[in-house]
Amino acid sequence: MIRKFLLAVFAVACLSATRSGVVQAAPIHVPILLYHHIADHQGRWYVSPQKLEAELRYLSGNGYHTLSMAAYLDAETHGVPLPEKSVVLTFDDGYRDNYDIAFPLLKKYGMTGTFFIVTGLVGYPAYMTWDQIAEMQRAGMEIGAHTVHHPFLTRLSTPAAFLEIFLSRLVLAQHLHTPINVFAYPYNDHNPRIVMLARLAGFEGAVTVAQHKGDIAGDPFEIPRITVLSGEHLKVFEQVIAKG
């Protein structure tokens, strides 16, 4: 019954989308960084606690302000002014080390982060629990959606992809008692169809990793991020931040 209802909502949304244009925004120049694991392990997607703290210390010591994605989107779509030195810190997948390590470091330096959660993995070993996610949100962290099962969305049928996107937003909103307005595409896997589905699911914006060919600069549903990798020297981080 729920699936039939959601499919009916999707059909109505699709009909509405064909009758309205997409508003494009002027691009703004704020670096948006992407982290995955924060842990002392070898691997492309692991950033050590020492490296993360050095980067946060650099940002703090050089007058940078961390923004939520909501603040970034207000600036991009509505022209809301931002501090001169602004940066967005995002963390994908909802790993437990984000709570154990990244969250305390962000609080230590008075910063905020945006955490994109795979709802179907909440509570599993190596992932955060609902109580931990709620605690971070109450402390000022922003929570975004990252699908239910972390699939390659472009490989799914349109209804299946829509359910992955929409249900992740719905479940997060139910647990956290707040609207969930930002989305991250798993594996950076998106195309115009998937971008449309993220719009239809009610998000205000969505983030990619690097831009795909055909992505539209300034589109709030194709916002590129810069991945922070394990082996990068702090000097590389400084250059990325400076260039935006």
> Residue 50: its pLDDT value, please?
97
Residue position matching structure tokens 């154990």: 100
What DSSP string describes 184-215? Answer: E-GGG---HHHHHHHHHTT-SEEE-SSPPTTP
In one-letter notation, the amino acid at residue 142 is E
Residue position matching structure tokens 């239809």: 200
pLDDT digit string, tens, across residues 98-153: 999 999 999 999 999 999 999 999 999 999 999 999 999 999 999 999 999 999 99
For residue 20, what pLDDT band results from cuts at 50, 70 and 90? very low
pLDDT digit string, tens, across residues 152-179: 999 999 999 999 999 999 999 999 999 9
Using a pLDDT cut of 90, give the percent of the chain over it.
Answer: 76
Helix axes 2-17, 192-200, angle to 10 degrees: 110
Domains of the chain, with CATH numbers? 28-243 (3.20.20.370)
pLDDT digit string, tens, across residues 121-131: 999 999 999 99
